[in-house]
Amino acid sequence: MNPIRLKLMKGGKEGELIAQGWTKQTTIGEPRLSEIVDNYRSMGYEVHVIEHPLDPSGATCTSCFSVGAEIGQTCADIYTRPRGHAKALADDLF
C-alpha cells in the first residue's frame, strides 16, 4: 500500500526544505505528533518539525485541530529524509 503524498508548495520555507531533500509527511497535533516523530526516528529517518500555534478565534481554518486551540495546543508539519542525506548532498557538491 503506497502513502498518499500531500501537494507541496513550490516556494518559501517549504520549498527550501524540499530542495534540501525533506519530504512532508503530515500535519498533526499531540499526542500523536510525538509518537509519529519517535517512530520515524526509530526507523532511521531525520525528522524536522515545524509547529503552528492554533488560532482559537477561528480567523484561520483549523477546524481539524480546533478542540485544543483554547488551551494553547499546537499542530505541526512533520518532514522526514533518510539519515545522512545532508552529508550526501554536501559530497555531491565537490
pTM greater than 0.75: no
Q: CA-CA distance, 25 to 78, in Å (whole number)?
A: 6
CA distances, 54 to each of 16, 33, 40, 90 (Å):
24, 15, 24, 36
Q: What is the mean pLDDT of the chain?
A: 76
Yes or no: say if 9 and 77 are a contact pair by the CB < 8 Å rule: no
Of 94, 79, 74, 75, the C-alpha closest to 16 is: 79
Q: CA-CA distance, 77 to 18, in Å (whole number)?
A: 13
Q: What is the mean pLDDT of residues 28-34?
A: 89
